[in-house]
């Protein structure tokens, strides 16, 4: 439990992934899947890390830097090994990613994967990491682990700005700049919940002339394509304000479905469905929640995630340790409607979704969204939708 709490604290202070390796053979495979999903980076493979761990000494911090400049911070903790990262020392742009790939002879079809890895990395300095980790170890282990050496293992050489042209001469990279535009447009539509316009961007992404290498990549390696897309979509979804719980629930759902996909065609349909479902979730969120303070975002997020519970102003005030009258005041000021109205709005919105997409009875739908009294559910539904739940189902069936 002490180690678990230690790692959670380090993760919180650094805002960077932290992994505990107890059984190298078993744990490093899982670590590699997260930090090196394409297995492109030799220094971040399970096999390399396993050999590196065997060479590590006690009371020593290690910074392992791969050939593309990504870094891991590692140290022994009794019989375990702690891995922090990957992280970067500074931010980089797409052009520099292309330079690094060009310098290391990495085929251009892997550009999207590497870009998503780079853009998801925290920006950290080893000096700060050593200070944070050292302080945490001292706090948890009564100063028994204060003295640590530091070893840097660098496989990375910074490209010379003089010898490297502004854009790589390799013609395989020419299509990358066009793909930036299409990809940026796609992610913009997801982030802003523009569901109606999204299909056109998805089709454009499929049909764009992205070079022979990438055609093979998207058609032959859909799981790698999905890994790249997941990382980019997660960033824009969280930036939209969508709950991290909602985002990761959708991500987990499609990660599992992709594992079960048997054909390329099935995988491609899942990739498209994933983008549309995330955009719809963002669209629904933005429709209900205007820009508001961080505190109010937590309150509305709590309602959206727990709409089927017995919610009330008093209950929410108790949950967030605030006076009910004050919560009512600031809620109406920031969200432009009362707490009860907002709860009804979220419940009826979800009720409509269940009526449209399931065969549940009206009573079951009401119960699912938090109304145990079917008559009251019908009354609230009619007030908001100007028709009964039954009439709404008939309307949907005729569309």
Res. 298 pLDDT band, cuts 50 70 90 = confident
Mean pLDDT of 213-225: 56
Q: Which residues pair with 151 in a beta bridge?
A: 62
Task: Check residue 67 and give its pLDDT.
Answer: 79
Mean pLDDT of 364-377: 92
Predicted TM-score (pTM) above 0.85 = no
Concatenate the DSSP letters of all residues of 292-343 into one string. Answer: --HHHHHHHHHHHHSTTS---HHHHHHHTTS-HHHHHHHHHHHHSS-HHHHH
DSSP-assigned letter for residue 161: T
Biggest alpha carbon–alpha carbon distance for the chain: 75
Task: Check residue 167 and give its pLDDT.
Answer: 44
Average pLDDT, the chain: 80
Task: Check residue 340 and give its pLDDT.
Answer: 94
* Radius of gyration, CA atoms only, the chain: 25
Q: Which residues pair with 71 in a beta bridge?
A: 65, 87
Task: Check residue 366 and give its pLDDT.
Answer: 92
């Amino acid at each position: 439990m002490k180690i678990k709490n230690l790692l959670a604290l380090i993760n919180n202070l650094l805002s960077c992934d932290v992994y505990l390796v107890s059984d190298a053979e078993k744990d490093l495979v899982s670590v590699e899947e997260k930090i090196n999903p394409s297995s492109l980076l030799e220094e971040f493979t399970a096999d390399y890390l396993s050999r590196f761990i065997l060479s590590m000494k006690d009371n020593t911090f290690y910074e392992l830097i791969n050939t593309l400049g990504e870094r891991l911070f590692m140290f022994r903790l009794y019989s375990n090994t702690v891995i922090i990262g990957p992280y970067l020392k500074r931010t980089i742009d797409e052009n520099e990613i292309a330079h690094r790939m060009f310098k290391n002879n990495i085929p251009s079809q892997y550009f999207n994967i590497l870009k998503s890895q780079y853009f998801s990395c925290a920006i950290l300095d080893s000096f700060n990491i050593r200070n944070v980790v050292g302080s945490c170890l001292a706090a948890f282990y009564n100063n028994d682990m204060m003295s640590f050496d530091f070893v840097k293992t660098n496989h990375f050489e910074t490209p010379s700005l003089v010898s490297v042209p502004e854009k790589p001469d390799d013609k395989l990279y020419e299509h990358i700049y066009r793909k930036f535009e299409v990809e940026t447009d796609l992610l913009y539509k997801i982030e802003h919940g523009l569901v109606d316009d999204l299909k056109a961007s998805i089709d454009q992404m499929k049909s764009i002339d992205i070079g022979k290498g990438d055609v093979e990549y998207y058609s032959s390696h859909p799981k790698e394509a999905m890994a790249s897309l997941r990382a980019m979509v997660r960033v824009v979804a969280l930036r939209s304000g969508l709950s991290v719980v909602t985002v990761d629930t959708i991500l987990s759902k499609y990660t599992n479905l992709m594992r079960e996909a048997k054909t390329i065609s099935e995988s491609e349909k899942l990739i498209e469905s994933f983008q549309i479902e995330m955009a719809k979730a963002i669209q629904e969120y933005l429709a209900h929640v205007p820009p508001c303070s961080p505190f109010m975002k937590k309150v509305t997020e709590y309602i959206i995630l727990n709409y089927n519970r017995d919610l009330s102003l008093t209950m929410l005030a108790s949950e967030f340790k605030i006076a009910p009258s004050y919560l009512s005041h600031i809620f109406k000021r920031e969200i432009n409607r009362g707490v009860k109205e907002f709860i009804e709005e979220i419940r009826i919105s979800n009720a409509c979704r269940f009526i449209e997409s399931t065969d549940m009875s009206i009573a079951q739908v009401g119960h699912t969204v938090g109304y145990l009294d079917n008559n009251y559910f019908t009354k609230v539904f009619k007030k908001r939708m100007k028709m009964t739940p039954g009439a709404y189902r008939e309307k949907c069936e005729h569309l």
